Structure 1
Amino acid sequence: MIDNFNIVTFNSRQINKIWCNTSLLYKCDKDYRVEDEVRNMEVRTYKNLIFKRFYNRLEVSGSIHYFFNDGLHNANDFNVADSISTFKELIKHFNIRPKLFKVMGLEYGCNICPQKEVNQILSLLRFYGKKKIIESLEYKNFYIAGTKYKSVKIYNKTQDCPKYAKPNVLRFEVKTNESQFLRTLGINTINDLLSKSIYKQLAVSILKEWSSILIFDFDVIELSEKHITEYWLDAIINKSRNTFSNRKREYFESLPKNSLFYNLEKQLKNKTNKFINCAYLTTDNKSTIVHNRTINKSHNAQPVKPPKKCLVTGIELTHEKEGAKYIRTSTFKYLRQYDTNKFQELCSLLLSNTKGGHTKYEPKLIQHLNHQIRNRVNNPVKIKQIGYKQKKYSNQYSLAIN
């Protein structure tokens, strides 16, 4: 699931300890300028990983997947158990203290083998959010979109690694260099990448980013008038700010469930679920084999803490920022898209009228739900006295809290 990563530490003792490891091979020295001062950066390598020592920090980057395959390729499946074991191998070899290394960047995704020819699928890609998906100038059949902080890559993996990849493999990958986004996934230090629960968040993130993809499906003839790029560009440039989103929602609702977009989404769901399920089936006392290298789980490993839950609804806070105590916009949006029944339960619990009659100050449903959560936090006694827990409405759902 994880491919490239970038971690950094500013701890001088940790830096010196790693830099004295004889496994590191010298690569080069480089000078760089900081304002009016010229400083030196040393570069060393270890099995295709890059170690850069600056005057005040040490950065380690590269593909953990390549590292798993002894630097040969990253074409095969790299599941959760493989990822955790490989990070543990790296940590053990360099005597790394995981909590001292902050994660600065991450690439994660999965491979699928679609029924349709991969290059044909790539030619049908149009937008990621409101950003046009374009082909890389450097690689053929390699498409990218997004910003320097977060982007997606969709490409022909078979063509990328012809010697090792299976036939007709499509790779969908998310890349981020934004600490704030990583924190929403529960990732702060490399220690977090040793937790199975984090990989569930990565799986959810993959599917969420896929939902931002707009891909034409010419087999759906009745939607042919919408399979024109200019139709969508016009919505971005000349219409109101919500026109593109509204058109996209209507387009998805019109697509049959056996359309190209939903078939690819189904494959992504099956693949990510398979990775997660395999990870949780792995017992703690069982060794994981990485190219005939046996890596045992540390007896001193810290137990994974159970996810925190909202104090009002009891729903897990896995989609909220670290330190959150209540569900907010991120959770509501996720439930509305991926768990409709639970979202309807929340609407029935929090809103006295679920048919669209909201106050004039809260015209949007999500904003209104947020407001109701705040009410229950800030005025718990007052609200309880007027009976929000006792009052029943017609056709009201009951909220099942695990």
Structure 2
Amino acid sequence: MTDYIKIIIKNLNPAILEANLLLDFYDTVNLSTGEIKTINRNGHKVTPSKNATYNGLEFKIYDSGTITLAGSLHKYWNNGAHNYNDFNNVAFLWVLRDLKKKFNIEPEQCILKCLEIGINIFPPIHTNVIIDNCFLHKTKTFEHKHNSDEGNYKQWRHSQYIIKLYNKALQYKKHFDIDTEIMRFEIKYLKMQKLNERGIYSLQDLVNYGLHNFKDEVLNEWQNVLYYDNTIQIDLLSTNLKRAVLEYSNNNYWTRLLANNQTKNFTYHRNQLKKIVSRNSNKVQDLTAEIISKKIDFVNGKTIHIDHLTIKSKQIVLEYENKIKKRLCKVTGLNISMQKDNSNSLSHTGLKYYYKTDKKVFAQIKRRYLSSRWSSSDFETQIIEIAHNIRNAKNNQKTKQVRIYPPEQVNFLSIFAQ
């Protein structure tokens, strides 16, 4: 259920991370001019830091010694590639254990500054139809965003949190074998007051609290969406109700009520719509709520005992894993499931995929595998050169292995293994 996080890591010596071979830190400084980067591409002020990316998580070390970590825990589980499959409680605990193993980061050191709680479901009707008929959240109007690579979604911004509704399948269908609808509904906590009131300050507190305890809040926020159900049997309605439904099906009708401060009118007509939907439709919003409820129970493994201290591997059966076999690049360790089945290292397809879906991961690859000679070249040339250097790195690893252990040399380990 967790996805994006932003945390401050307390009581960790930055030198430990800087010395970690899995992290390739770079400064937010133009190395050719010495200019410190203080403004990003969106015009926002940037505090100079040392940055590194691993499996979609970005580490930042500031001059003050403060360390932050931001990114998708769900993508980390999938080796940086995607977050469209199920990310259950066992997988969440595995990620925390892996962060401890690889980077010496304890969950109690991780102070939450931003957190996404969400769920992926198979909706009862087409995802885009549901999205199109979601008008308001409480009294907030939506921001409607669409991108062929990033998917179709709406979001409603409140003072402390954002509600998001995605077509998650659309985001990844071009790159993975997804033959079904996937809708994602999530809460993104921008401020920590709601979490702090529950005693949640760190990732360890989140584990202790239990992700299943967010179920009621997720369901309540879904029901707070003003949803027009297009399965209403209009022919069975009276003339007056038909006129009302025609108005209710128009998002502008609801925004006009709010704009004119007609609060009582808004509440009355919203209740009227609920009555009409309850008596004359397939109740799509309620069906969706039921699916969300069952899915939250499923991913939190209520029917099995989970002890995160005894997790030994990540060979856990998740709902979509039977369809997508995770394959990793032999050089970068990144997920290359979006490439041809016979590929074993990151190629042009995978590089372009990461460029479209995660610019930070692509930038990490580019820094490591593109020489300065090609830094000013066009995009296609850079892709060719990066892929070439990754293949060379793979071949060099093989050559080194053969040099150290020639085929004709007796391997004592193989003797003892017999």
SS in 2 for 1:281: coil
- Deviation (angstroms), 1:175: 1.1
- Aligned in 2, Cα 1:15/1:264: closer, same or farther, shift over 3 Å? same
One-letter amino acid matched to 1:247: H
One-letter amino acid matched to 1:179: M
- Aligned in 2, Cα 1:17/1:164: closer, same or farther, shift over 3 Å? farther
- Deviations for 1:348-384, whole angstroms, at most 9, x for unmatched residues? xxxxxxxxxxxxxxxxxxxxxxxxxxxxxxxxxxxxx
Matched residues in 1 for 2:95 and 2:10: separation?
Answer: 23
Structure 1 residue runs without a partner (length 5+): 293-402
Find the counterpart in structure 2 of residue 287 from structure 1. Answer: 311
One-letter amino acid matched to 1:270: K
Match of 1:174 among 178, 187, 191: 187
- Aligned in 2, Cα 1:39/1:184: closer, same or farther, shift over 3 Å? closer
Higher RCO structure (Cα 8 Å, ≥6 apart)? 2
Match of 1:213 among 184, 200, 225: 225
- Aligned in 2, Cα 1:249/1:188: closer, same or farther, shift over 3 Å? farther
Normalization by structure 2: what TM-score?
0.62
Establish whether residue 189 from structure 1 lines up as the match of residue 202 from structure 2.
yes
Q: Contact 2:229–2:283 at 8 Å: present in 1 too? A: yes
The sequence identity of aligned pairs, in percent, is 23
SS in 1 for 2:87: coil
Establish whether residue 100 from structure 1 lines up as the match of residue 87 from structure 2.
no
* 1:234-249 pair list within 5 angstroms: 234-249=256-271
Normalization by structure 1: what TM-score?
0.64
Find the counterpart in structure 1 of residue 162 from structure 2. Answer: 151
- Aligned in 2, Cα 1:160/1:178: closer, same or farther, shift over 3 Å? same
SS in 2 for 1:142: strand
Q: Contact 2:157–2:163 at 8 Å: present in 1 too? A: yes
Matched residues in 1 for 2:188 and 2:260: separation?
Answer: 30
- Aligned in 2, Cα 1:27/1:79: closer, same or farther, shift over 3 Å? same
One-letter amino acid matched to 1:244: F
One-letter amino acid matched to 2:143: I
Structure 2 residue runs without a partner (length 5+): 30-35, 40-44, 317-418
Q: Contact 1:3–1:108 at 8 Å: present in 2 too? A: yes
- Deviation (angstroms), 1:213: 0.8
Establish whether residue 263 from structure 1 lines up as the match of residue 276 from structure 2.
no
One-letter amino acid matched to 2:277: L
- Deviation (angstroms), 1:187: 2.1
SS in 2 for 1:252: helix
- Deviation (angstroms), 1:152: 1.6
- Deviations for 1:70-119, whole angstroms, at most 9, x for unmatched residues? 11221111111111121121123211233232111111211111231222
What is the root-mean-square deviation of aligned Cα atoms in Å? 2.8
- Aligned in 2, Cα 1:140/1:17: closer, same or farther, shift over 3 Å? closer
Matched residues in 1 for 2:307 and 2:109: separation?
Answer: 27
Find the counterpart in structure 2 of residue 276 from structure 1. Answer: 300
Aligned residues: 288
Establish whether residue 231 from structure 1 lines up as the match of residue 253 from structure 2.
yes
- Deviations for 1:259-299, whole angstroms, at most 9, x for unmatched residues? 1111111111111122234475335675353159xxxxxxx
Find the counterpart in structure 2 of residue 4 from structure 1. Answer: 4
Find the counterpart in structure 2 of residue 135 from structure 1. Answer: 144
- Deviations for 1:182-217, whole angstroms, at most 9, x for unmatched residues? 22454211212333x430232222112112111111
Matched residues in 2 for 1:78 and 1:38: separation?
Answer: 32
Matched residues in 2 for 1:262 and 1:122: separation?
Answer: 15
Matched residues in 2 for 1:117 and 1:111: separation?
Answer: 14
One-letter amino acid matched to 1:129: K
- Aligned in 2, Cα 1:289/1:39: closer, same or farther, shift over 3 Å? closer
Find the counterpart in structure 2 of residue 26 from structure 1. Answer: 25
Matched residues in 1 for 2:227 and 2:304: separation?
Answer: 33
Q: Contact 2:10–2:111 at 8 Å: present in 1 too? A: no
Find the counterpart in structure 2 of residue 299 from structure 1. Answer: none
- Deviations for 1:303-339, whole angstroms, at most 9, x for unmatched residues? xxxxxxxxxxxxxxxxxxxxxxxxxxxxxxxxxxxxx
Matched residues in 1 for 2:303 and 2:57: separation?
Answer: 25
Q: Contact 1:49–1:63 at 8 Å: present in 2 too? A: yes
